[in-house]
Structure 1
Amino acid sequence: MLLTVSSLLDPAELADVTSALDGLEWKDGTATAGRSARSVKQNLQADLRGRAGQDLHEQILRKLTGHPVVQAAARPKKFSRLVISQTADGGHYGNHTDNAIMGKGTGRLRTDISFTLFLSPPDSYEGGELVVDLPGYTQTLKPDAGDLVLYPSSSIHQVAPVTSGIRLACVGWIESLVRDSFQREILFDLENLRAKMRGQYPQGSAELLTLDKSIANLMRVWAET
């Protein structure tokens, strides 16, 4: 499932994030690419190891983990460390597939879902679209600053060359409690139905209780804790 979550960061939060980036050091992005992706990656990444970088990392991660649509669509078990990239002057990230396993120790995770949080207004740079190959079609995305795109880590995807301006984005990966994408989509549909029904039926109604039970029981069957 490919999904755009609008305004994960509001304008004030976005301004705080982009302001914080001004004080960080930027390094060659190939250092974090897998072997096959290294040859097609040309960008810079913010060094988030200092206090300012850690604070920024935690600020964005709190927004991700606390967003109800992210929770409903991804059913997160673990989030990876975040990566903030800067792409300019013809930089790009050519066609690649994300590594199936990332991280070390307690941070080790299976990559089920990839995400890109766009930090630059789309009219401030040329090119730089996120291009995701899905069964039967290709999706090209360049949403507003503050928007988040969730997409399958199993897909072939790329960042098109940035021909002018600067593209800032935050990327990361999610290991889901529900490994199967088809099952996650069913649960997401049911969550959306439940949200709609809460405006139509009283709390404790037989309809809502039955739906609550069905969602909980599907999680019992499908979740990997």
Structure 2
Amino acid sequence: MLIKLKGVLDERTLAQIREKLSVAHFVDGKLTAGSDAQKVKKNLELRQNNDLVGEIHQLVLGALKNSNEFWWATRFKAMLPPLIAKYEPGMFYGSHLDNAVMGGDDLRIRTDVSITVFLNGPGDYDGGELTLDNGFEVMKVKGNAGDAVTYPSTFYHHVAPVTRGQRLVFVNWIQSAVSDVRKRKILYDLAILARHLRKKGQGPESTELKLTELCHQNLIRMWSQM
């Protein structure tokens, strides 16, 4: 289930993040990769255990938590500290699968959902498409600055080589309260349906809206792992 979230970060938040990154020290991205991923990874990342990482994480997480669609798409339970990645010409991240469990002594999570937040726009660089393979089709994503995309961590994916400019992204992994992607999709569709009914003028006494919300909330109770 690939979900595109439009305009999660506003211009003010993006400007704050870019200002912080303009003086940041980036290191070889291989430092955060497993043994297999190291063979196909060529990018730069903001050094972990850096105060800047925490500051940017709070800015992005605050914006995400204000997005209904983020909650609907992920059923957010826990999130790791992020990776802030930079790709310059010649850099890429070859096909790989995210580890099923990530984290350290302070926090370890099961990775159910992966998220990429685009910190600059597609006009700032050529190439660099996030390419996802679910086993049936290949999907390419290149979002506007402030957009995000969520997808199951079970997808193989890669970042195409950047040929011009600079690609900046916030990358993270989420443990969902609903681990089964099929169940998350049903809940997401019901949330979208309820929103659609409200936009069409259905009020709280509407039979269609009441039944939709009844199914939605009861399935959340049935499937959530809190």
Range class of TM-score, shorter chain:
over 0.9
**1:70 and 2:65 equivalent?**
no
* Structure 1 position 204, deviation (Å): 4.4
Contact persistence 2:53–2:84 (CA under 8 A): no
Contact persistence 1:48–1:54 (CA under 8 A): no
The verdict on how the C-alpha distance between 1:52 and 1:95 changes in structure 2, with shifts beyond 3 A counting, is closer
Post-superposition CA distance 1:42-85 (Å, at most 9, x none) = 11111353444422221111112221101011111111211100
* Structure 1 position 187, deviation (Å): 0.5
Contact persistence 2:119–2:170 (CA under 8 A): yes
**1:59 and 2:59 equivalent?**
yes
Q: Which moved more, 1:80-89 or 1:40-49?
A: 40-49
Aligned partner of residue 94 in structure 1, secondary structure: strand
Distance 2:197 2:2 in 1: 24
User: Aligned residue for 1:108?
Assistant: 108
Distance 2:155 2:117 in 1: 18
Q: Percent identity?
A: 38
User: Aligned residue for 1:175?
Assistant: 175
Aligned partner of residue 126 in structure 1, secondary structure: strand
Distance 2:46 2:103 in 1: 18
RMSD: 1.5
User: Aligned residue for 1:119?
Assistant: 119
* Structure 1 position 124, deviation (Å): 1.3
* Structure 1 position 20, deviation (Å): 1.2
Distance 2:82 2:50 in 1: 14
* Structure 1 position 209, deviation (Å): 3.0
Contact persistence 1:111–1:175 (CA under 8 A): yes
User: Aligned residue for 1:219?
Assistant: 220
* Structure 1 position 151, deviation (Å): 1.2
Distance 1:51 1:113 in 2: 25
Aligned partner of residue 198 in structure 1, secondary structure: helix
User: Aligned residue for 2:92?
Assistant: 92
Contact persistence 1:48–1:57 (CA under 8 A): no
How many residues of Structure 1 are paired with residues of Structure 2 in the alignment? 225
Distance 1:36 1:204 in 2: 56
Note the residue ranges of structure 2 that are not aligned, 5 or more in a row. Answer: none
**1:12 and 2:12 equivalent?**
yes
Contact persistence 1:86–1:166 (CA under 8 A): yes
Contact persistence 1:177–1:224 (CA under 8 A): yes
The verdict on how the C-alpha distance between 1:219 and 1:168 changes in structure 2, with shifts beyond 3 A counting, is same
Contact persistence 1:131–1:158 (CA under 8 A): yes
Superposition map of 1:19-30 within 5 A: 19-30=19-30
Amino acid at match of 1:223: S
Distance 1:38 1:95 in 2: 11
TM-score normalized with structure 2 length:
0.94
Aligned partner of residue 72 in structure 1, secondary structure: helix
Contact persistence 1:24–1:53 (CA under 8 A): no
TM-score normalized with structure 1 length:
0.94
* Structure 1 position 211, deviation (Å): 2.3
Distance 1:204 1:37 in 2: 53
